[in-house]
Amino acid sequence: MAIKKKVLVVDDDKCFRELLVCALEEEFEILTAMDGREGITTAAQSSPDIILMDVMMPNISGIEMARELTAEEETRDIPIIVLTGSHMNKGVPQLFKQERNVRAFLSKTTPIMDIVWVVKEVLNAK
């Protein structure tokens, strides 16, 4: 039996976090965190293969989390997919895309199976 790749889902929205877990758990080992600070700690301790994270979270925002992950040797190469439910100006995705680990920036309104497809594509390209 093949070892499942680890996916860390970081989102303060419990319902969306659970939706992602349900969509991904059959094919991946899922780790979760409720905010950016917990996400950074979980990433450092568990070495996930990919991180899915929200933009606006308590304690540490998504962009701060991405920058902290990039700054640490043990987490700098983990690919990140950013998911947002906010209607933001066009500069926000560009801000994230400047971070070396950010591979995709998606809306939470993206169909869930499309999000799963992007996760697989990013992992296959890794």
* pLDDT tens for each residue of the chain, 126 residues long: 678 999 999 999 999 999 999 999 999 999 999 999 999 999 999 999 999 999 889 889 888 999 999 999 999 999 999 998 765 556 566 666 667 788 998 989 999 999 999 999 999 986
Tell me how many domains the chain contains. 1
Predicted local distance difference test score (pLDDT) of residue 102: 87
- CATH number for the domain that contains residue 74: 3.40.50.2300
**Residue 109 domain-assigned?**
yes
**Residue 20 domain-assigned?**
yes
CA nearest 102: which of 52, 56, 57, 29?
A: 52
Predicted local distance difference test score (pLDDT) of residue 95: 62
- What is the model's pTM? 0.92
Cα–Cα distance measured from residue 12 to residue 4, given in angstroms and rounded to the nearest whole number: 25
**Residue 1 domain-assigned?**
no
Strand partners, 32: 9
**Residue 43 domain-assigned?**
yes
**Residue 85 domain-assigned?**
yes
Which residues form the domain of 114?
6-125
Tokens of 49: 């293969």
Predicted local distance difference test score (pLDDT) of residue 62: 87
Predicted local distance difference test score (pLDDT) of residue 89: 59
Predicted local distance difference test score (pLDDT) of residue 87: 59
**Residue 56 domain-assigned?**
yes
**Residue 26 domain-assigned?**
yes
